[in-house]
Amino acid sequence: MPTVEWSDALSLDFAPMDTAHHRLVDLLAQAQTATDDSLSAAWAVLLAHTKAQFAEEDRWMRSTRFAAAANHLLQHRVVLNLLMEGETMARAGQLAPVREMALELASWLIKHTQSMDAALALHLRRHPHATGCGTALDGVNHVGAP
């Protein structure tokens, strides 16, 4: 089974999210290729990054009153709960279901990035201060300025 890898198809052309997503994809690939001895540690790193990344997106959605936030927040919570279950299983040496979970996470991640995250990136481009990042729209705002 091929491991997940970063590609342009996952890029949202929005650096604050793309950077975190790229890292997430790399960590998931590391978990997918981890040996039995290292799977538990790889999963813990993946879980920590995912937690932080979801929390950041959640914060951006709330601070900008993103209209589609409810479903997006719920998806993050459900996936995070599953990953935490995975961590418990990995620690207990139940590796087969964790490897299965990594596969499912990979296909979920692609769909989530290209749908919910894509919509959020579009929204956040109009709220550059929420992410602390200027965007191309900054330039637009200055057009015609004295």
CA 100 to chain centre: 19
CB of 87 to Fe ion, least distance (A): 19
Q: Does 117 bind Fe ion (CB under 5 A)?
A: yes
Choose one: 32-40, 43-51, 77-85, 117-125; the region binding Fe ion (CB under 5 A): 117-125
- Which CB contacts under 8 angstroms, 24+ apart, belong to 100-105? 102/28, 102/31, 102/32, 103/1, 103/32, 105/28, 105/79
Tell me the residue nearest to Fe ion as measured from the CB.
Answer: 117
> 43 vs 117, which CB is nearer to Fe ion?
117
CB of 22 to Fe ion, least distance (A): 11
Q: Which residue in the block uniquely carries the two structure tokens 């001895």? A: 37
* Dihedral-angle region of residue 145 (phi above 0 means left; psi in -120 to 50 means alpha; beta otherwise): beta
CB atoms within 10 A of CB 50: 22
Choose one: 32-40, 53-61, 91-99, 103-111; the region binding Fe ion (CB under 5 A): 53-61
Dig out the tokens for 103 from the structure.
């596969």
> 79 vs 95, which CB is nearer to Fe ion?
79
Report whether 114 contacts 63 (CB < 8 A). Answer: no
Q: Does 57 bind Fe ion (CB under 5 A)?
A: yes
> 132 vs 144, which CB is nearer to Fe ion?
132
> 46 vs 117, which CB is nearer to Fe ion?
117
> 67 vs 96, which CB is nearer to Fe ion?
67
End-to-end CA distance of the chain: 58
Sites of contact with Fe ion (CB under 5 A): 57, 117
